[in-house]
Each structure stands twice: as C-alpha cells, then as structure tokens.
Structure 1
Amino acid sequence: MPPLPLTAPPKPETYRVPFIYTHTQVKALLSATARCHSPGVELSADTLRMLLILLYATGTTVDELLSVRTSDLDLRRCEINLNATACRRGRVLPISAQLRDLLSEYLRSLRSSSRDVHLLRSSVGQALNRKSLCVRFRRLRNLADVGMGPHGQTPRLQDFRSTFAVHRIKYWIASGADLNVLLPALSAYMGYARLTKAEEFLAFTPERFRSELERLAIGRARPAWKTDEALMTFLTRL
C-alpha cells in the first residue's frame, strides 16, 4: 500500500500574557531616558522619551508609531494620522491637549527645515531601526529596575499598548463610567477589527473591581452601543 500523504497538524496558538507596567514603572522608565546611552545606537534621550510617551498615551503599535511623519500631525486639531499597515487599517487618533503640547515642544527641539520627515528618528536623521530600538530599551529597562512580570514575562516596548488599554479601563471603572459604551470606542481607537476586542483587557484589571466587571459578563443584557449617537459619531471619525 502506498503511503498516505498526511499534512502536519497546525501548531497550537500560544498566548503570551502581556506585561502591564505600573504607573511607578512608567515614570521610572521616563526618568531613566536621560541616563540611557548605548554605543552604536544614534538615538537622543528626547526621542526615546517621546517614543515612550506616545506609546503609553495612544496605545499604538511600535510599527505604527515608527512610520508617523511630521506631516501626519495636525496639532491645531489635536490629531495624529496613522497610515495603514499590513496588519492594521489607517485611522485618525484624537489626542489630549497635554500630549499636543509635549509634541509641539519636541518638534521645536528637532530644528528640522523639512516639513515631512519621520517624527521619531535617529540623531543623524534616519528612520529608527526596530531591532536597535529594542536593544536600547533593554538597557533602559535595566536602568529603571523594571524586572520580570508575575508570570515570567519580559517587559517589552509593545507591552505599552496593553498597558494603555488596562490603565484606561481601570480609570473608567474607578470613575463609574459605562464600559458598555467605552469599550467599543477603545477597540476602534486601538485599530482592532472587532469592536469587542478591548474586552479581553478586563482580565488584567484589579480584583477589587470584580463586582463591577461581573455586570459585563457574557450573556447578560447590555444596552446596544450602536444606538449611542455620540459614540457612533466618534467611531466614524477614526
């Protein structure tokens, strides 16, 4: 009997628990940028600090942020235009007035005559290399004394995205906001295809909010977020 042509079974999907930075750790990392120097990596402390602030304040991916150019900023309207990538659709992010002011100060420090260059670039004006950036971040992490997570996770740059979502949800719960309305908006803001994607971050909220989270359990009746006119207006602008 000839051998049967069998295909190898697909590898099971593995889920890496993200590292959620605390507010203290975020502040320690920002403070350590002034002391973080790495030979061979042409990256100023101001650019490294601005990178961390943008990752934490917008929840974008590292690749999305590295592709942002100065022409993508509309500081008058407090907006950042994110171009489409291979994995994520393009969208326009509204930002806070505080972040706008920090960006304005950072742009003044660049002293570039061109109006269309990479927002985050090396000291010699080149686009940042992600591999070199991760090398610098490992050094920064050690300087700030940010160690492994409770599940053995190594803190990474991309974990600022999950931290952004978890900290937003924690703030909303503490302030008594309606998560049934805000979670779809958070999913769209972060560029997820499914407007329920942000609900996965509820698993990383503190246990003291468990009673509030149980109200959002699957199977319970929820108000239809599509009927919220203000929310729909916000989603269509992204």
Structure 2
Amino acid sequence: MTAMHDHVREYLRLRRALGFKLDWPGRILPQFADYLLTAGSSTITDELSIAWAQLPTGVHPVTWTHRLGVVRGFAKYMQAIDPATQIPPSGVFPGQGKRPDPYLFSEHDITSLLEATRTLKTPLRAATCHALFGLLAVSGVRISEALTLQRDGVDLDSGVLAITSAKSGPPRLVPLHPTATAALSEYADLRDRLRPRARASTFFISHRGTPLSKGPVREAFIQLTAAIGIRTATVKPRIHDLRHSFAVHCLLRWYRSGADVDGQMATLPTYLGHLNPAGTFWYLSAVPELMQLAAQRLQASTAAS
C-alpha cells in the first residue's frame, strides 16, 4: 500500500460520511492508485489519468468519460493536499458534458452588484433587480423559484419564504435573516406604490406590473456584472452562481468556526431543495479550500479516535 492508497481511502471515507455510497468509485479508485504505483508516480498527472481512463477496450467512450470523471473528483481533493496534482481536463472523450465552472462571488462582489442595480433604468426595474439578486445571494433559492414566488408565499412578519415551485421535491420553508426581510419589505412597499394595480400575483414584477421573466433578468445580470468588472471574455458569472456562492460561504463558515459540519450538512440539502446530498456535495468539491478544510477535519477526527 502507498500513500496514494491511503488518500483514496480517506477521500472515500469523507464522501461516504456525507451520505454517498460510492460503490463504483470505491472499486475503481484503488485500481487507479495501483496504476500510479506501477507507473512509478506518486502524483496524479493528466497523462496518467487519461491513459488509465482508456484502459477498458471495446467500450463506449462515455465509459472513459465516467472513469476520468471519478479521477477528476479525487484529483480536486488531492490538489489541496499535494499542489503538484494535476486535475485532468474535461471534454477529453465524447459522450458527456460537464457542469460549468462556477464563479464564487465574494461579499465585495455582491455589494458591488447590488449597488450597480441603482443605475438601471426605471425605479421599479432597479428596485426589483436589487431585491431579487440580494435574495438569491442570502437565501440560496433558485432563480426559477424566486421568479414564481407568490406574494402570499412571502411572510414578511415572520421572515419566511414558502417555496412551492421547487425544481424537484416537496414544498419547503426558507427562513430569512431580519436584514433580508427588511429589504424585501422595502421593495414590496415601493412596488405597491409604483404599481398599485399590478396584474401579477408574483412577489417580483416587471416595470410594467407583469410577472417577471428570466430573459430580462438575465440581460440585467450580464449588464451589471460587466459594469462592475467581474465579467470578462473568459469569466462569465451566471445567476445560478449566487446560489452556489451562498452554499460555499455557508460551508466555509462552518468549517472555519469549528461547527459540527456533519450535523449541518444534514440540513443544508433540505434548505437548498436538494433531494439527496449529491447536489450539495458538488458545492464542496468544486472549491479546493473546502476540500482541504474537510480533509483536515477528517484527519483530526481520525487521529483523535
């Protein structure tokens, strides 16, 4: 057994502690460690990863894609431990795409984005985008859920959202911080003052008083992220990245504060509306710092036991 085999075992243990069975990765990652040992390498490289992924012959290329995808997840974990680790590229083989790399909004980015909404034409459009993007950043709700949020689904007295149009799964309640509730109350007052006879029953409305649609919201988001300098030819933040950033910052706060992350992770999927931990774990695995903190926590726990 090598150090790489030990890292494979710790990686699988970490992910299984988060609720994953990992039957297939649990079988093939030790084989990958064997391959590295035979190749005389103690570090994951693109060349070795791709060569190992193609070992099965007479199979559909999607099989190679799946094998390389398992290595990619492990390599992200290993890069936090061994900076020399190379994360193999995606799209090497035909057959399956990948999730786009997320843009992690900092607190400064979010503040700048919300301030920039004040420059949008018409007071109601500016106020709507300000309240909408702010809500996405502090609650983690999906843009589709926010746009279909009904007025009676926003309890401004209790500070709770009733999400009834979730992507999947049953309706859920999302509690809000008092500052978020205050901001939504301010928006609702302005909305009702400017469009007292609005035709929409949704909480967020267009400047014409109709239900807000995703197209104009996306156009405003692109305009604003370019104006504050975070959108470039190669960096293209998405509205969904506000949700991603919310989840990542929650996890970072828990790890940095020494909180019971295992206990909190049991609630975060429900809060975000995930039916299983897989969606939530992606937020963790996509950020090297989170993987490093998780590995350190697991190692400390193992040493203490």
Give the TM-score category using the shorter length: 0.7 to 0.9
The reply to whether residue 172 of structure 1 matches residue 242 of structure 2 is: no
C-alpha deviation, 1:115, in angstroms: 11
Q: Distance in 2 between matches of 1:210 and 1:58?
A: 25
The equivalences for 1:154-173 within 5 A come to: 154-173=236-255
Query: 1:1-238 counterparts in 2 under 5 A?
Result: 11-37=95-121, 44-85=125-166, 87-111=168-192, 112=196, 117-148=201-232, 152-195=234-277, 197-205=279-287, 207=289, 210-216=292-298
Whether the 8 Å contact between 1:172 and 1:179 is mirrored in structure 2 is yes
**Aligned partners of 2:175, 2:216: CA distance in 1, in Å?**
29
Which amino acid counterpart does residue 116 of structure 2 have in structure 1?
Answer: A
Bigger shift: 190-199 or 112-121? 112-121
Inter-CA distance 142–13: structure 2 relative to 1 (3 Å threshold): closer
Kept in 2: contact 1:71–1:115 (CA 8 A): no
Q: Hey, what's the Cα distance between the residues in 2 that align with 1:128 and 1:49? A: 14
2-structure distance, mates of 1:83, 1:57: 19
Q: Distance in 2 between matches of 1:158 and 1:196?
A: 17
Percent same amino acid at aligned positions?
24
Paired residue total: 209
Shift of 1:147: 2.5
Return the offset for 1:184: 1.8
**Equivalents in 1 of 2:199, 2:153: separation in Å?**
10
Map Cα deviations across residues 138-167 of structure 1 (whole Å, 9 max, x no partner): 111111111349xx4410111111011011
Secondary structure in 1 matching 2:267: helix
Distance 1:92 1:164 in 2: 17
Q: Distance in 2 between matches of 1:211 and 1:60?
A: 25
Which position in structure 2 is the counterpart of 1:228? none
How far does the alpha carbon of each residue in 1:61-102 deviate from its partner, in whole angstroms, 9 at most, with x for none? 110100001111112222100113454532111111221111
Residues 183 and 196 of structure 1 are in contact (CA less than 8 Å); yes or no, is this contact kept in structure 2?
A: no
Cα gap change, 1:167 to 1:148, in 2 (>3 Å): farther
Measure how far apart 1:34 and its partner are. Answer: 0.8
CA distance in 1, matches of 2:111, 2:172: 28
Cα RMSD after superposing both structures = 3.2
Provide the secondary structure at the position in 2 that maps to 1:215.
Answer: helix
> Which is richer in helix?
2
Structure 1-normalised TM-score?
0.76
Distance 2:141 2:160 in 1: 13
Structure 2 CA distance for partners of 1:11 and 1:140, relative to 1, 3 Å = same
Shift in Å, 1:216: 4.2
In 2, distance between residues paired with 1:190 and 1:92? 10
Contact 2:200 2:210 in 1 (8 A): no
Q: Which has the higher contact order (CA 8 A, sep 6+)?
A: 1
Q: Is there any run of 5+ residues in structure 1 with no aligned partner, and where? A: 1-8, 221-238
For structure 2, the residue ranges without an aligned partner over 5 or more in a row are 1-61, 63-93
- Matched letter for residue 253 of structure 2: Y
TM-score normalised by L of structure 2:
0.61
Q: Could you tell me how far apart the structure 1 residues matched to 2:266 and 2:109 are?
A: 28
